[in-house]
Structure 1
Amino acid sequence: MANATASILLLGATGQVGHALRRTLAPLGAVHAPGRAAVDLTDLKSLREAVRELGPDLVVNAAAYTDVDGAEEEPGRAARINAEAPRVLAEAAQEARAWLVHYSTDYVFGGGKRAPYTEADAPNPTSVYGRTKRDGEAAIQAVGGRHVILRTSWVYSRRRSNFVRTMLRLAAENDRLTVVDDQIGVPTWAGWCAEATASICERLLAEDDAALSGLYHLTGTGQTSWYGLARAVFAQFGRTGVAAQPVSSGEYETAAPRPAYTVLDSSRVRAAFGVPTTTWAEQLSRFRRHVASLKD
């Protein structure tokens, strides 16, 4: 068990992964989770001051500009939150001798590969969102210090806007849906991601081994399309009366291009931190049980 007196600064605690992190990080120490009114990632000066004032042992940045299409219209804001803020956090964490854990995305890849991406593959994003997240990774790596960057993908939860919630809402309103079938990735339940992150953080706080610093992929195993995920969601949640029809990406016009293939190979994080192997389908089943338990 990590030092229960550890001080943890959690940013983005109202988001999908951040909300779950409030619970999973609690056994590791005192979690400080300031809201946007207290710490705004677009205000880099206040961001730096927040780290200096707390002097944490661990900074977990679960905040980001995640609107993929919106980033095309607001590239400056996306860059400030996704690239400049992580640089400031890395500098402030290094000054405080704290660990920085930061989330990135599968969208740093362009999708041209047809085998799972590893951490050794060079990023080649095709959207503003992907480029700003790649730049955030590079900024943290340039600063150095104790840091762990976790790339994850296709995150869903009971909170905020996400694909699984959208499918369940549409299934309640329609008996026929069309879903894109030529984009392939790994769906990730935010609750599982937060649990895995907590186990990683426990190791960082307990050992303080700088050799653990680096970039890791954090998803389950297996892969599917958005169409495949939709069908799995309908099956898990008893929406078997909904007929889903696969369509190509070309039938949906979006402001930002989506990569066709962004499956991440997470074997490195499992080897380094002992993160349990779980399939994306197992995570979805756990999510369904989690939702059911909250209704009881």
Structure 2
Amino acid sequence: MMAGPVLLIGHSGMLGSRFAGDINADQVVNLPREALDVTRPRHLIDSVVGTSASVIINCAAHTNVEEAESDRAAAFSTNAILPGLLGQAARESNALLVHFSSTGCYGQNGADGLAPHSDFAGLNPTTVHHKSKAAGEVSVREAGCRHLILRLGWLYGGSAAHRKNFVWARITEARNKTEMASDPYQYGSPTNVDDVVKQTMALIEAGMTGTFNCVASGAVSRFDYVHHILKSAQLFPRLLPQRFQRKAPVSPNEAAINEKLDLLGLNKMPSWDVALSAYVTSLLAEEGQGR
């Protein structure tokens, strides 16, 4: 159990809503959107400090990778400027800032082929989105606050009703099609948001700070990811391999390993396939109960 108030930024999103459900409701503090206006930096910092939060969990993010290519300002405002201001507030109030980055930040870093990226690998992001996420990490560190930065990848989870539920969208698509397509050339580490919350809470309780990968174990292509979703749901449309055409030059390898968590004996993340099968089962059960 964390002592003191917990300020949850981005509490309505996929990640934030899971934290909201896991933390004692009496501890959670939220701020109105206008208090987080980055064009009023001193007001933002004072608003955060005024909550007297002992922990600030930043789940706010600009997540549209394609849109970021044509709207750099929106991506950097949320993903780079906001974390830095939260970091300044955390420093002034001696709070811990928990911030989430992306394994996509590794980009083309010279890693061997499609080998998953270690926490110790350098960053060389290839998209505006991932450049903004990498800049956010720098902003947090430069703020000089106590911080915990977790790099996530291919995050899924939450209710089937969530508009960005990738897994449920594939199940729905498979029920309405005899043929589907997915990219066999893009690799990552599908990770359940519930597991991220559990791992994060464990690290906070252990008093850990620093930067860590936080993904389910194992690397898989987008094609095999979708195939496993459908298999777990007992749906068998024809699945065709097809390269995904996109504006953003996303690296073909966003997979990672939790090397630092392993070395510290703190890795609680399950294998991607076991976690995904369990999640699909929970979605189908949710549907059967009428959501």
Q: Same fold (TM over 0.5)?
A: yes
Structure 1 residue aligned with 2:130? 130
Partner of 2:200: 197
What residue is the counterpart of 2:59 in the other structure? Answer: 62
Cα 1:69–1:91 shift into 2, 3 Å:
same
Deviation at 1:230, TM superposition (A): 0.5
Q: What is the CA-CA distance between 1:26 and the residue it aligns to?
A: 2.4
Q: Give, in whole Å, the separation in 1 of the partners of 2:43 and 2:238.
A: 50
Secondary structure at the counterpart of residue 69 of structure 2: helix
Q: Once the 2 structures are TM-superposed, how far is the Cα of residue 25 of structure 1 from its aligned partner?
A: 2.4
Q: Identity across aligned pairs (percent)? A: 26
Select 1:257's aligned residue among 244, 249, 262.
249
Q: How many residues align?
A: 282
Deviation, 1:31, is 1.0
- 1:97 equivalent among 94, 98, 105: 94
- Answer yes or no: is 1:222 the counterpart of 2:225: no
The answer to whether the 8 A contact 2:5-2:54 is kept is yes
* CA deviation after TM superposition for structure 1 residue 173, in Å: 2.2
Off by >6 Å, runs of 4+ in structure 1: none
1:108-147 to 2 correspondences below 5 Å:
108-111=105-108, 112-113=110-111, 114=113, 115-147=115-147
Q: Is the 8 A contact 1:270 1:277 kept in 2?
A: no
Please give the secondary structure, in 2, of the residue aligned with 1:69: helix
Q: What residue is the counterpart of 1:174 in the other structure? A: 177
AA aligned to 1:87 is G
Which secondary structure state, in structure 1, belongs to the residue aligned with residue 150 of structure 2? strand
Distance 1:32 1:135, change over 3 A: same
- Once the two structures are superposed, residues 97-120 of structure 1 have per-residue CA deviations (whole angstroms, 9 ceiling, x without a partner) of 000000000111224523221222
Q: Which runs of 5+ in 1 are unaligned?
A: 205-211
Hey, what's the Cα distance between the residues in 2 that align with 1:271 and 1:19?
A: 30
Instruction: Give the counterpart letter for 1:129 in structure 2.
Output: H
Aligned 1:1-296 pairs, distance under 5 A: 1-3=1-3, 6-26=4-24, 30-36=27-33, 39-40=36-37, 44-111=41-108, 112-113=110-111, 114=113, 115-157=115-157, 158=159, 159-204=162-207, 212-240=208-236, 242-249=237-244, 252=245, 254-272=246-264, 274-295=266-287, 296=289
Question: Would the aligned equivalents of 1:87 and 1:136 in 2 still touch at CA under 8 Å?
Answer: yes
Q: Which amino acid aligns with 1:34?
A: L
Larger mean CA deviation between 222-231 and 271-280 belongs to 271-280
**Residue 116 of structure 2 aligns to a residue in which SS?**
coil
- Give ranges in structure 2 of 5+ residues lacking alignment: none
The letter for the 2-side match of 1:145 is C
Larger displacement relative to structure 2 (40-49 or 265-274): 40-49
**In the TM superposition, what is the alpha-carbon distance from 1:220 to its structure 2 partner?**
1.0
Please tell me the root mean square deviation across aligned C-alpha atoms, in Å: 2.0
Secondary structure of the equivalent of 2:44?
A: helix
- Contact 2:233/2:281 (<8 A) preserved: no
- Scaled by the length of structure 1, the TM-score of the pair is 0.88
Compared with structure 1, are the counterparts of its residues 267 and 188 closer, same or farther at alpha carbon in structure 2 (3 Å cutoff)? same
Distance 2:177 2:121 in 1: 41
Post-superposition shift, 1:40?
4.6
User: Matches of 1:233 and 1:217 in 2, distance apart?
Assistant: 24
Measure, in 2, the Cα distance between the counterparts of 1:42 and 1:72: 22
Tell me the alpha carbon deviations over residues 160-203 of structure 1, each in whole angstroms, 9 at most, x when there is no partner: 32432332232122110111110111001112111221222222
Mark the CA change 1:24 to 1:269 in structure 2 (over 3 Å): closer, same or farther: farther
CA 1:103–1:179: 2 relative to 1, 3 Å: same
TM-score scaled by length of structure 2: 0.90
AA paired with 2:242? V
CA 1:170–1:289: 2 relative to 1, 3 Å: closer
